Structure 1
């Protein structure tokens, strides 16, 4: 079994015994398994699978050292994230703002058996649109947070969140969200309302943190993986779905009804089919994962979920290029795009808002960077045919 497939299987069914598959790995296979799972943020789960199968003695020395380093890093990261989360919750609570901590917080501290198994790249906080900019400014005004240097500069009208904030004390990234998705999902307000209305309370370090309900979080995971990210958040999605269900808090009849109302039933079918292909046991019969059309889309999803961040970024670039210009990417499309730069991108390159006319001074640098990205994407094999298949899948997900 290729290490990539084993990563998908461990992610889809983390509680299974993978001793036979681990026995079959040679040194190169172990090295690929450990390095890829580290890059894909599932090394803690692979480490757990090795221990559960009693195969620690098979791990090559260099791989064992990497796993041990990751254990230490994840323990510190989990603790640091918890401190950063409770501090920001405390600051906002003093101003009567009580956000809902999205996805990873509930997963790590309620659904997963150990928070260290669920890496978190950042902390996402959902607030109402009316207080989002105020919440962002309150944090910046404390002096402990700053707008991250890598983020674009924009306002409420640009996307589903405000620019990334960096906690200068811990190095943790925070995102203040006022929506959940900015990609044309018409039924998004239904899920936003569910996240707010059905929020549950979790106590961490003596602080009360609001998190989504089991249903709201599960539906957000499904939408986030498909409509929002086209599976570029990697195999961790499969593990998230497994543990989100493991606690037995899902009423499948109700959840399927909610998915239909929110028009994410096809997204649910797609992630369920991909998970079932790799041994997931959580998928109920009420979710139909049959059909040749769905099978073809699962193949595309599997390719996408295994991409590294560089590849995912290049493929996403070509999809966005096609969607903006209404045609498949090619030289003509790229030329057309070169004359219509994003005001947000230009403004961010100059360190100013998108409305400032001086943003155009960044146009030559933007054009060079855009051309380099286009060429890099072409070298990766993002042909018109591959992009067409991905766009067909997105169209299928959005159509009913």
Structure 2
């Protein structure tokens, strides 16, 4: 049976305790949690794929109820088995593409799980991300379909419009059941979010790619940049607190040229987001070798607090909160485009309206979206979520 989200007053406390557990600490306040609070904490852990890592840190910790430790151990075992399938699909998929003359690069979790974490089970993945180029991504997509990979879900844009307006193609599912996302760019195009997207110097990033055995990856320093931009600019932190562990384990596994990193951040316009995420990492893992530049202004205290909450935000209300945040942060024009299911790229060639026929047509979709948004915003925690998302977007653009 699903456990409901904890009430407003309990959420900040549980979030604080869960982040402490994720960092390997066991605060004394754990002794005061009742069964309902433990269920709420475990619910958040499951939602954000944290249970295997909690098992790693606390499998023998008597402060954790036996039932939770047993559940975390089972999540670890399931993740270990899933990692075997993921490894096989990662090798097979990249081999298919390379044999066709393409040069896929494995992103984020594919490198972290097998090269930064102590065991790949500690870094569960919902999918495998592979970077192609805008010129090769459609042929790659069609090649995989010809080898039995099936498209997941409805396709709202043509493939050509997807390449122009999105960062990745519609998800594919491998014959083994792994979700594969083929990316044509590393992060979102400008115009997709309520704040400006960072500039991308992808040619230089691709040139720095590394190989390990049969697979090619972003260089660790570029993986760090990708983690930061993906977390704060592409997702406004709804990727969850796993990003903090990702960065802590990355920094322990690979050296970073901090002068070069911050020079890239300034050139791309993403130094604010990088400063925020890395400041959160320093709180999460004080021993992590993070270097912040002396001229980087500190994050406002309220922004650091709300960012901690956004890392553990409710995922089933993020769309409603995001719609409302768009009205606050980006104005009525951007809000109207979201409600009208329109997308506009940085090239300003034209607006494209998504094909929603598979969802009952535009009128049905817009009506359902508005009804759900209004219903969700009746809850105080969703209004807070929306306010915090808008605050983050405004600060990123300040």
Q: Normalized against structure 2, the TM-score is what?
A: 0.83
Question: Alpha carbons of 1:86 and 1:285: their partners in 2 closer, same or farther (altered >3 Å)?
Answer: closer
The structural deviation recorded for 1:60 is 3.1
Cα deviation per residue 1:122-168 (whole Å; 9 max; x = unaligned)? 111101111110000011112x211102564443122111111111x
Provide the rounded CA distance (Å) in 2 between the counterparts of 1:106 and 1:21. 36
- 1:103 maps to 108
Partners of 1:186 and 1:263 lie apart in 2 by 8
Say yes or no: does 1:7 pair with 2:18. yes
Equivalent residue, structure 2, for 1:302: 308
Contact 1:166 1:174 in 2 (8 A): yes
Instruction: Tell me how far apart the structure 1 counterparts of residues 91 and 342 of structure 2 sit (CA, whole Å).
Output: 36
Q: CA deviation at 1:377?
A: 3.4
Partner of 1:356: none
The answer to which of 361-370 and 242-251 deviates more is 361-370
Q: Which residue of 2 aligns with 1:369?
A: 368
1:83 maps to 88
CA contact (8 A) 1:7 1:46 kept: no
Q: Greater shift after overlay, 216-225 or 29-38?
A: 29-38
**1:45 equivalent among 44, 53, 72:** 53
Unmatched tracts of structure 1, length 5 or more: 352-360
Report whether the alignment pairs 1:398 with 2:388.
no
The one of 187, 197, 200 aligned to 1:189: 200
Match of 2:150 among 146, 150, 157: 146
Aligned CA RMSD, in angstroms, stands at 3.0
Structure 1 counterpart of 2:322: 316
How many residue pairs get matched?
A: 371
Give 1:1-400 correspondences, 5 Å limit: 2-11=13-22, 14=23, 16-18=24-26, 20=28, 25-51=33-59, 54-55=60-61, 57-142=62-147, 144-149=148-153, 152-155=156-159, 156-167=163-174, 169-184=175-190, 187-190=198-201, 192-203=202-213, 208-282=214-288, 284-287=290-293, 294-321=300-327, 325-326=331-332, 340-342=340-342, 346-350=354-358, 362-381=361-380, 387=386, 390-399=389-398
User: 1-side partners of 2:64 and 2:385: how far apart?
Assistant: 37
CA–CA separation in structure 2 for the residues paired with 1:385 and 1:5? 17
Q: CA deviation at 1:365?
A: 1.5
Q: How far apart in 2 are the matches of 1:252 and 1:348?
A: 45
Q: Note the C-alpha offset of 1:30.
A: 3.5
- Taking the aligned partners of 1:385 and 1:17, their CA distance within structure 2 comes to 28
In 1, the alpha carbon distance for the partners of 2:252 and 2:173 equals 33
**Aligned position for 1:357:** none
Is the contact made by 2:329 and 2:394 (CA closer than 8 Å) also made in structure 1? no
Secondary structure of the equivalent of 1:391? Answer: helix
CA shift for structure 1 position 253: 2.2
Deviations 1:314-364 (A, max 9, x none): 222323455665479xxxx67x965x343877514338xxxxxxxxx7123
What TM-score do you get using the length of structure 1 for normalisation? Answer: 0.82
